[in-house]
Amino acid sequence: MSMQKTISSALISVFNKEGLEPIVRKLHEQSVTIYSTGGTEAFIKNLGIPVVPVEDVTSYPSILGGRVKTLHPKVFGGILNRQDNEQDVQQMQEYDIPQIDVVIVDLYPFEKTVASGAPEADIIEKIDIGGISLIRAAAKNFKDTVIVASVNEYSLFLDTITKNNGATSIEERKLFAAKAFHVSSHYDTAIFNYFNTDDTFYKESVADGKVLRYGENPHQKGFFFGQFDEMFNKLHGKELSYNNLLDVDAAVNLMQEFKNDAPTFAILKHNNACGLATRATIKEAYVDALAGDPTSAFGGVLIANTTIDAATAEEVNKLFCEVVIAPAFDDDAIAILQQKKNRILLVQNDIALPTKQVRTCLNGLLVQDKDNITDGKEHLKTVTTTAPTAQEVDDLIFASKICKHTKSNTIVFAKNKQLFASGTGQTSRVDALRQAVDKANSFHFDLNGAVMASDAFFPFPDCVELAKNAGITAVIQPGGSIKDELSIDYCNQNNVAMVFTGTRHFKH
C-alpha cells in the first residue's frame, strides 16, 4: 500500500463556510468528486461547481428536520473501508459504495450557543451527531482517509493539497487525525460539562496551548492553556513568561476584592502583595502602595482598579517593573509607560473568572471552589469588650482582603487603607507576625493605631501579645480555636479590639 494518496473524492458538510470557497475551487480544479448535504451543498452549487447530493448516494432523504443526513452505511462504508483489505474492497463493489478520500466537517457551534444564553431547546439542537460521527470515522481510518475537522484546519488543508497537487502523505493524514480527535474530545467535554451536575466528575479541555520561553526556571518547559486575549488587550512589551502569568493571576484575583472600591493600586512580587493602598486618586494610591515596600517592588507586577492617567504613569515610569495592569490607560499614560520597551502593559477586560481552582497533586489533581467569601462588615462579630472604631473596621476589612490573597501562614498590618507590612508563607503564625513587625519597622511605619489580620485562628495568646506590644489596636481573625478565650482575655486586659469572621482564608 502506498503511503502517498491522491484525493479523488470528498465529502463536505460544514457549519462554518468562511474560508471554504478556495478549498472547493481547488478540489474542483484537481478533478475531485464532491459530495455534500443541505446548506453546504447549496453553497457549493452557488459557486457553480458540480456537487453530488448525499441523498443520491444513499437513496435516502434527509429526515427529522435534518437530524439524520449522513448516518448511512454507504457514507460510512466509503470512509471506513480499508483499501488494502480484500474483503473490504469486495464489499465496496458488492454494495456499490463510493470511495471517500477526504471528509471536511465543521461542527455545530455548541459552546457558542451555550455562552449566548440560548434556551435549552436551541442548545440541544446544536449537539452535532452526524458531524462528530464523520470525524471519528475518518480519523480512525487515517491510513486511507483525510479528515479536516474544523474551520481552524481549512488553511492547513488547502496548503497541503496545493503543495502536493491533491496528494497527502501518511504523516499528514495522521496529523489531521490527531487534530480531529482533539476536536471531538473537546466537543464532547463541552457537552458533558453542560449536563454534568456531579462535582466528583471533572473534565476540562483547553485548546490552543501557548509555548512559553520556559517554565518556572530555564531548564523547565512551560505552556499556557487558556484564552489570554479574551481577558487582556496587550498594548506593549515582551512576551509574558510563566512566572509573569502566575503573578498576573495573583494580581487579578487580589484586585477583584477592590473592584468597586475607591482608587486602589497594588504591587505584587512572587504572588504576594508587597504594597497596596486605597486613596482619593490613583496616583496617591500608587505612591502609598510603593511606600509599603519599595525594595520588593523592583521587578514587580502592578495593578490598578481604575484608569491609569499620565500623572500616575510618570510615577510608575521611575520604577523597573515587569507588568502594569489596569481596566484602561489614558493615551498620555501609554506613551509614557511605553518608554521601557520590555514593560508589559495589559488592559484587563471585564469577564467572568473561573469558579474552580485546579492543580496537580501526586498522581492526580486537586479541584476546589475558589475562596469566594470576602469578609465584610456583616461578617464581623466583636468578641472583646472594646469594639473597633469605624476607621478600624474599614482597615480591618481592607487588611482581611489582602490577607486572603497572601501565602499562609500570614499576618497583615494596615492603617488608613495602606498595607504597612505582611508576614508571608511562614511555618508558624508567630514567625509571620515577627516578620511583619520587622518589615514595618524597616520601612519606618508607625504601627501605633494600626490593625492586624490573620488568615487563621490564634492557638495561643502570644500573637495578640506581640501585636499589642508593636502598637496594634484592633485584630481580625476567623476564630475557632479551643483556646480562643485566652486571646480574648488578653485583648480585654489590654484594650485591644478583636473581631471574629468565622471564615478561614488559608492560601497554600
Q: Which of 373, 423, 395 is nearest to 272 (CA)?
A: 423
pLDDT of residue 1: 44
pLDDT of residue 413: 98
Is 292 within 8 Å of 319 (Cβ atoms)?
no
pLDDT of residue 212: 93
Can you list the residues of the chain whose pLDDT is less than 50?
A: 1-2
505 contacts: CB under 8 Å, gap ≥ 6: 371, 400, 403, 404, 455, 456, 478
pLDDT of residue 64: 76
Enumerate the active-site residues: 140, 270
C-alpha cell at 203: 473534565
Helix axes 73-80, 86-94, angle to 10 degrees: 150
C-alpha cell at 474: 484592633
Give per-residue burial for 128-165: e unless 16+ CB within 10 Å, then b: bebbbbbbbbbbebbebbbbbbbbebbeebbebbeeee
Angstrom distance (rounded) from CA 4 to CA 169: 5
pLDDT of residue 85: 86
Q: Is the dihedral of CA 258, 296, 237, 248 positive or negative?
A: negative
Which pTM was predicted?
0.86
CB-based contacts of 280-289 (< 8 A; 24+ apart in sequence): 281/311, 281/312, 282/306, 282/307, 282/308, 282/309, 282/312, 283/309, 283/311, 283/312, 283/315, 286/312, 286/315, 286/316, 287/315, 288/418, 289/265, 289/418, 289/419
Angstrom distance (rounded) from CA 415 to CA 46: 71
Q: Which of 310, 266, 313 is nearest to 289 (CA)?
A: 266
Q: Which of 132, 138, 105 is nearest to 23 (CA)?
A: 105
326 contacts: CB under 8 Å, gap ≥ 6: 303, 304, 305, 306, 307, 308, 346, 347, 348
- Specify the DSSP element, H or E, that contains 36: strand 33-36
Angstrom distance (rounded) from CA 112 to CA 131: 17
